[in-house]
Amino acid sequence: MADLSTQFQELIRDAVDTDSRINFIGGGSKAFYGREPQGESIDVAANSGIIDYLPTELVITVRGGTQISEIQTVLDEHNQMLGFEPPCLNEQSTIAGVIAVGLSGSRRPFSGAVRDYILGCKIINGYAEILSFGGTTMKNVAGYDLSRLMAGSMGTLGLMLEMSLKVIPRPEQEATWFIEVATDQVIATMADLLAKSIPFSGMFYDGRRLFYRLSGADDAINQIAESIGGEQLVDHELFWEGVNHHTHDYFQDETPLWRISVPPATQPVSLAGQFAYDWGGALRWLKSEEVDSQVFQVIGDIGGHATLFRHGQHRDAVFQPLPEHLMQIQRRLKHAFDPKGLFNPGRLYPEF
């Protein structure tokens, strides 16, 4: 629990002066994710603590190194939560780490992604300047939205010192039901359900059973589930934890695991391996030995993108390759924050 911003600023100033490359480490829970880390490791987890939390404002301001579990405990006391259901692959996951990887859990299609909850942030850029963008209000269009840009940037744009996040009240009640659906039927079934105004908060398919979670008042969700059908799942919280934190059986495997993001009603993709669908079909996990170029090609052609999430043979090509003009803008954007290319070099793309 300390504000280490001035120490980190010194440290980054030294790195800039000596052209030293830095690998930021938060909880270390996603060290396996992305391209191979390079540079001198700096532990940023100690810059932690909750700075401000006003439950009626639905906003929490925290330091980057604050553990997700700590944030959740505090929110719990006020019956609130992080709306994007952050995937935490271990107890040490920090909020800055979660934002840097930009991954969101099963609620994503229904209540938004991690980037949607970022209201403001304070960073140190590659000029060793401390900068604040955004703020604590729900709406803010003063200046470019550089706080949301941090989501998914893999720490390549700056060190995230603090962030203000929108939080949401816990739904009064949540429950999950499942129905048996054949693989060739499931896309249509999900599309039908999602076309209606129903308070879904999760939709996952394990290859045999379609699980759907509803949020709201007890009576209301029971009534809705009755009209959809299916059997209620006991221990449903554990189930969604398994899906989000990868303790579910599907993820217990050493086969290369792909995270594939596609339009939700995309017909089953012709790649060999075992699929599981989250996000009502918009997020597809694939355990497969297919070569990376093949996966990128097939998924790129259908307007989606693929990420070699873990257990890859190598970590050269992890993220979907970008077309030339887009890559040029991304490279220049990196340069705009970190002209010497010192922060997490190569972690996202070899070009920067």
Partner 1 sequence: MTYRLHESERKSHAVNRSEFIRHLAQVLPAESIISQQEALKPYECDGLSAYQQVPWLVVLPDSIEQIQSIMELCYANNIPVVARGAGTGLSGGALPLENGVLLSLARLNRILEIDAVNRTACVQPGVRNASISQQSSRYGLFYAPDPSSQIACTIGGNVAENSGGVHCLKYGLTVHNVLKLKIVTMQGQLVIIGGNALDSAGFDLLAVMTGSEGMLGIVVEVTVKLTPKPDSVCLIQAAFDSIQQASEAVAAIMASGVTPAGLEMMDNASIRAAEQFVHAGYPVDAEAILLCELDGHSSAVVEETGRIQSILKQFKASQVVKADDSEQQQKIWSGRKAAFPAIGQISPDYYCMDGTIPRHQLSTVLEQIQQLSEHYGLAVANVFHAGDGNLHPLILYDANQSGELERAEQLGSDILMCCIESGGTITGEHGVGVEKINAMCAQFSDSEIQQFHRVKSAFDPDGLLNPGKAIPTLNRCAEFGAMHSHQARTHTELERF
How many degrees, rounded to 5, is the angle at CA 254 between CA 250 and CA 259? 60
For partner 1, give the closer residue by CB, 33 or 337: 337
The distance of closest approach from Cβ of residue 167 to partner 1 in the complex, given in angstroms and rounded to an integer, is: 10
Amino acid at 14: D
Q: Which listed residue (2, 46, 291, 336) binds partner 1 by CB under 8 A?
A: 336
For partner 1, give the closer residue by CB, 25 or 75: 75
The verdict on 157 binding partner 1 (CB under 8 A) reads yes
Site for partner 1 in 251-310 (CB under 8 A): 261-266, 279, 282-283, 303-305, 307
Is the CB of residue 190 less than 8 Å from the CB of residue 284? Answer: no
For partner 1, give the closer residue by CB, 26 or 34: 34
Q: Which listed residue (170, 209, 236, 315) binds partner 1 by CB under 8 A?
A: 170
The verdict on 76 binding partner 1 (CB under 8 A) reads no
The verdict on 216 binding partner 1 (CB under 8 A) reads yes
**Which span sits near partner 1 by CB under 8 A: 62-70, 150-158, 175-183, 245-253?**
150-158
For partner 1, give the closer residue by CB, 67 or 307: 307
- Sheet order of strands, 305-310 included: 231-232, 173-180, 209-216, 200-205, 274-278, 283-287, 257-261, 305-310
Q: Which listed residue (153, 176, 189, 201) binds partner 1 by CB under 8 A?
A: 153
- Where helices occur in the chain by DSSP H, the ranges are 5-18, 68-77, 95-101, 108-111, 183-194, 218-228, 236-245, 292-301, 324-337
Amino acid at 175: A
Q: Which listed residue (182, 195, 234, 272) binds partner 1 by CB under 8 A?
A: 195
Q: What is the DSSP string of 156-195?
A: -S-EEEEEEEE-EEPPSEEEEEEEE--HHHHHHHHHHHHT
Is the CB of residue 265 less than 8 Å from the CB of residue 191? Answer: yes
For partner 1, give the closer residue by CB, 92 or 131: 131
